[in-house]
Structure 1
């Protein structure tokens, strides 16, 4: 039996679920009355989703559909980072929605600070774009997971490699 237990705090999303959500969004756009004739395109790239449509009003409609489809597939709304709306010529607008993945250094520091301040017998270390938390007690780790769920971080947190 191991003398210490640990888990990783990461920020990630299921790529296949995102692909499915974008596909469903495209299908909905082609069948919805108010969006049908707008020649709206939604393209999923490696690190962003690009939306090209008629107006800011139809862009908001596309956002609503995308958010709804993502929520139904258990994807956090925090993975979407909406860029600024730019003109795409011919009275059209384009927006890039970046996909957030990984815990930034500042957020990692906040997580480790919370753990250092509130849990004296627990170690937290930043490892790239994740935070490893280890302790001799599984109960402490459970309490930490619940504590981190209470905080409102600007990224979606998942807890992996619990051992």
Structure 2
């Protein structure tokens, strides 16, 4: 039976390249001269922006979003945290969302079942597996899921006949 997996993943190599490009642009911009502003990775799935003021953080966030979009990463995978100001430093934590959370997966399964297509959808960890008898039904499910607003980018992989 044909099947495919629905996942939400970010290419870590492309993300690292986007961070490097953003940091290079920040180093060369006139409004950041002597500001000691940096964008770095914090932990496995997070970014941290550090600068002297909230205004600079907002400028850095704009640069980061442009560089990430240019590298082909969907910006919906980023979730802004709280801005923390302490003395002369401001920091902003940004979470990189990966995987499909259980609430979104349940909504996807319900949407697929409500479509009355002859397919089965099952949740397998942080991904969703869809199986059916015909490849055409699977392509209709892909179009259905692409059209929905799930709050994160979706990729379709492991298409098997």
Bin of the TM-score, shorter chain as denominator length: over 0.9
TM-score norm. by structure 1 comes to: 0.94
Q: Are 2:33 and 1:31 aligned?
A: no
Q: Is the 8 A contact 2:117 2:137 kept in 1?
A: no
Could you say which residue in structure 2 is the equivalent of 1:84? Answer: 82
Could you say which residue in structure 1 is the equivalent of 2:120? Answer: 123
TM-score norm. by structure 2 comes to: 0.95
Q: 1:42 aligns with which of 34, 39, 43?
A: 39
The gaps in structure 2 that reach 5 residues or longer are: none
Could you say which residue in structure 2 is the equivalent of 1:112? Answer: 109
Q: Are 2:1 and 1:14 aligned?
A: no
Higher strand share: 2
Q: How large is the RMSD of aligned CA atoms in angstroms?
A: 0.9
Question: Runs in 1 of length 4+ with deviation above 6 angstroms?
Answer: none
Q: How many residues align?
A: 159
Once residues 64 and 70 of structure 2 are traced to their aligned partners in structure 1, the CA distance between those partners, rounded to angstroms, is 10
Once residues 132 and 121 of structure 2 are traced to their aligned partners in structure 1, the CA distance between those partners, rounded to angstroms, is 9
Once residues 28 and 114 of structure 2 are traced to their aligned partners in structure 1, the CA distance between those partners, rounded to angstroms, is 53
Deviation digits for residues 103-144 of structure 1 (CA, Å, limit 9, x no counterpart): 000000000000000034110000000000000010011111
The gaps in structure 1 that reach 5 residues or longer are: none
Residue 162 of structure 1 aligns to a residue in which SS?
Answer: strand
Could you say which residue in structure 2 is the equivalent of 1:159? Answer: 156
Deviation digits for residues 65-98 of structure 1 (CA, Å, limit 9, x no counterpart): 11111111110111111100012x3321111111
Once residues 133 and 157 of structure 1 are traced to their aligned partners in structure 2, the CA distance between those partners, rounded to angstroms, is 14
